[in-house]
Amino acid sequence: MSIKIVKHGLFSTIQDLGRFGYQDQGFSTAGALDPLHFQLGQALIHNEGPAIECAMIGPTIEFLEPNTFVITGAHFKATLNDQPVANQSVIMADKGDVLALNQAVEGVRAYIHFGNPIDVPCVAGSYSTHTRSGIGGFHGRVLKANDIIQMSDHEGYHKYAGLGSDVSLLPEDTSRFHIIEGPQFDAFSDEAKATIVNNDFTVSDQADRMGYRLQGVNLAPKNSADIISEPVALGSIQVPNDGNPIVLLNDKQTVGGYTKIATVCKADLPFLAQKKPGDTINFEWISTEEATKRYNEKIQAFKQQLDQIDSAPLFTLSQLRTTSQRLQKLLRGE
């Protein structure tokens, strides 16, 4: 039981929620950059298997055996046998069917989950790919054309075909990100601390799974940005000597030697992962207590949304065809 990668897309990797408990040994967590949409996919497909994470340009996949799939996260011009398919709907695929994600039209990263889930080795408690160290996922690398990925058998996988959700996980303001004081907060002037929240920043072309380099006003510290290397947290805003901040993400190094003015709150990080080069973002200072409160409230609300999925109505075939027709018109610009 397997799938074949016909086209690999821009940066397609196998991910789960990450590899935890090994940073002291030099292993980055890796894992889905947008864990909310990743978990939404797991809930819809009804298994805890890993997914293919793709960015900007998605892969083309041939099903070598019958399976189901669901796409969550960014909206791509996805088609199955050249017919548009909707996000957040579990779709049945027959042997020989071809799923093409094509280009993203809204957001950056999407997740493809399968009813018969991806079967790859578990490395240090995770299936996640970390390409810089070459571990996890499919041979520790991005997917390539002609890769054959084995799938495990999940009894009853087909019975969820047609299950869908209209859950929206994006906040009202997707450009605002909340931050708390970083470890070297006092190394920056009062002017820099005000500058970071009073100005917009643009996501540069240097934005990947390791981190997002931002462009905008200079945030250089009062003295040198170089410090003795120390552990770095997910979401740390590292400021090297050129003054351009870098938000560290899942594939970050485990230690770093630059000053860190702030940390992006964990509740906001999934939405940063959906920003593309050229997008504008801004920051707002909040307290650690407020950040914790926001995160707990976000997780509680998300769990309630997931609990509703099992009681959501199954779409009929005619409804799915109607959705497909609407998507076709949208893609044609009608």
Predicted confidence pLDDT, tens digits, the chain (334 residues): 899 999 999 999 999 999 999 998 989 999 999 999 999 999 999 999 999 999 999 999 999 999 999 999 999 999 999 999 999 999 999 999 999 999 999 999 999 999 999 999 999 999 999 999 999 999 999 999 999 999 999 888 889 998 998 888 877 778 999 999 999 999 999 999 999 999 999 999 999 999 999 999 999 999 999 999 999 999 999 999 999 999 999 999 999 999 999 999 999 999 999 999 999 999 999 999 999 999 999 999 999 988 888 655 444 444 444 444 444 444 445 5
Q: Which residues contact 178 (CB under 8 A, 6 or more apart)?
A: 264, 265, 267, 268, 283, 284, 285, 286, 290, 291, 294
pLDDT for res 168: 86
H helices, E strands: number in the chain: 5, 19
pTM: 0.91
Distance CA 244, CA 299 (A): 31
- DSSP characters for 187-212? GS-HHHHHHHHHS-EEEEEEESSSEE
Q: Do 127 and 14 touch, CB atoms closer than 8 A?
A: yes
User: CA 205 to CA 107: how far, in whole Å?
Assistant: 15
Q: Residue 173 has what pLDDT?
A: 76
Query: What's the pLDDT at 312?
Result: 53
Strand, coil or helix: 333: coil
Q: What's the CA gap between 2 and 119, in Å, rounded?
A: 9
A 10 A CB-CB count for 206 gives 14
pLDDT at 154: 86
pLDDT score recorded for residue 317: 40
pLDDT of residue 157: 87
Q: Are strands 176-181 and 280-285 parallel, antiparallel or unpaired?
A: parallel
Which residue is listed with tokens 């949409």? 37
Q: Where are the domains of the chain?
A: 2-167+315-331, 176-297
The pLDDT of residue 172 is 72
| Class of the domain covering 176-297 | mainly beta
CA 226 to chain centre: 30
pLDDT at 169: 87
> Which pLDDT score is estimated for 324?
44
List, in sequence order, every residue forming a beta bridge with 164; answer none if it has no partner.
89
The length of the chain in residues reads: 334
Rounded CA separation 290/265 (Å): 10
